[in-house]
């Protein structure tokens, strides 16, 4: 039996995944969490074979949670699941130690196949994600400047590009407005922009989900 933990802050997403996986005789959802912190604690206690980890979580990001789980004293393997398929998200998740990357829009059969492949020790990337990763690694490829950002800077950049204000972003990421402002000007410097309009245009150019 492949035991699975779901980590996603949206109950509807967890419910959908649970129903898909429950139809398979060899798969069992043994725990759910709505935050990275709770997910790590659950994994340490249950030691499942596979974790389906949302990347965009309040508080601790999914990327940081992946790193901590992979570094932990378990054989648990992690599949990143996100609505964001464009670079730098897949590569960032793989660098953090994820064994797979799936879109939340993937077919039910692909979710099941990915869980089984990863549980057996393999890796799983959907075809579109694998293509993006391969192209970004080619010499002379137009690498995204967003790859230079830290996980938190990337999260703040996305929210700013979507028109978020410091107070709203602070609530969403469980940070102080002052900390968000620090991230804002740090990422502006790294990306060479000085306004949110310029940031949004740059994000659109490199395919980040800002709509």
Mean of pLDDT values over 45-72: 89
Alpha-carbon distance values, 157 to 93, 154, 171 (Å): 17, 5, 15
Distance, in Å, from the CA atom of 67 to the CA atom of 18, rounded to the nearest integer, reads 24
The percentage of residues in the chain with a pLDDT greater than 90, rounded to a whole number, is: 55
Distance, in Å, from the CA atom of 50 to the CA atom of 29, rounded to the nearest integer, reads 10
Distance, in Å, from the CA atom of 161 to the CA atom of 43, rounded to the nearest integer, reads 34
Q: What is the pLDDT of residue 140?
A: 47
Mean of pLDDT values over 100-123: 93
Q: What is the pLDDT of residue 204?
A: 82
Distance, in Å, from the CA atom of 46 to the CA atom of 27, rounded to the nearest integer, reads 15
Hey, how many other C-beta atoms are within 10 angstroms of the C-beta on 25? 7
Q: What is the pLDDT of residue 138?
A: 43
Mean of pLDDT values over 38-49: 96
pTM to 2 decimal places: 0.74
DSSP labels for 87-135? Answer: TTHHHHHHHHT-SEEEETTS-HHHHHHHHHHHHTT--EE-HHHHHHHHH
Q: What is the pLDDT of residue 194?
A: 93
pLDDT band for position 210 (cuts 50, 70, 90): low
pLDDT tens per residue across span 145-204: 888 888 788 888 888 988 889 998 888 777 899 999 999 999 999 999 999 999 999 888
Element (H, E) at 27: strand 27-33
Element (H, E) at 78: strand 77-82
Alpha-carbon distance values, 71 to 37, 111, 117 (Å): 15, 24, 21
Hey, how many other C-beta atoms are within 10 angstroms of the C-beta on 107? 11
pLDDT at 209 over 70: no
Mean of pLDDT values over 60-77: 88
Q: What is the pLDDT of residue 37?
A: 92
> Residues with Cβ < 8 Å from 205, sequence gap 6 or more?
none
Q: What is the pLDDT of residue 98?
A: 94
Calculate the average pLDDT of the chain: 87
Of 195 and 133, more confident? 195
Of 58 and 52, more confident? 52
Task: Describe the crossing of helices 177-191 and 151-161 by its angle, rounded to 10 degrees.
Answer: 90
Q: What is the pLDDT of residue 99?
A: 95
Q: Which of 34-43, 91-100, 136-145, 189-198 has the lowest mean pLDDT?
A: 136-145
pLDDT at 58 over 50: yes
């Amino acid at each position: 039996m492949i035991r699975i933990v779901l980590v996603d802050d949206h109950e509807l997403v967890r419910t959908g995944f649970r129903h898909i996986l429950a139809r398979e005789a060899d798969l069992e959802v043994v725990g759910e969490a709505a935050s990275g912190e709770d997910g790590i604690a659950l994994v340490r206690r249950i030691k499942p074979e596979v974790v389906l980890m949302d990347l965009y979580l309040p508080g601790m990001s999914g990327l940081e949670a992946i790193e901590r789980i992979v570094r932990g004293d378990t054989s648990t393997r992690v599949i990143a699941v996100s609505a964001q398929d464009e670079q730098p998200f897949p590569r960032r998740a793989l660098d953090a130690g994820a064994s797979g990357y799936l879109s939340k829009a993937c077919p039910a059969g692909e979710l099941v196949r990915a869980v089984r492949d990863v549980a057996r020790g393999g890796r799983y990337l959907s075809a579109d994600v694998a293509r993006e990763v391969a192209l970004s690694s080619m010499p002379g490829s137009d690498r995204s400047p967003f790859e230079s950002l830290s996980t938190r800077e990337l999260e703040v950049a996305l929210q700013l590009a979507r028109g978020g204000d410091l107070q709203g972003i602070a609530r969403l990421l469980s940070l102080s407005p002052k900390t968000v402002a620090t991230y804002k000007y740090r990422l502006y410097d790294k990306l060479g922009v000085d306004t949110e309009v310029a940031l949004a245009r740059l994000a659109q150019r490199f395919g980040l989900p800002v709509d």
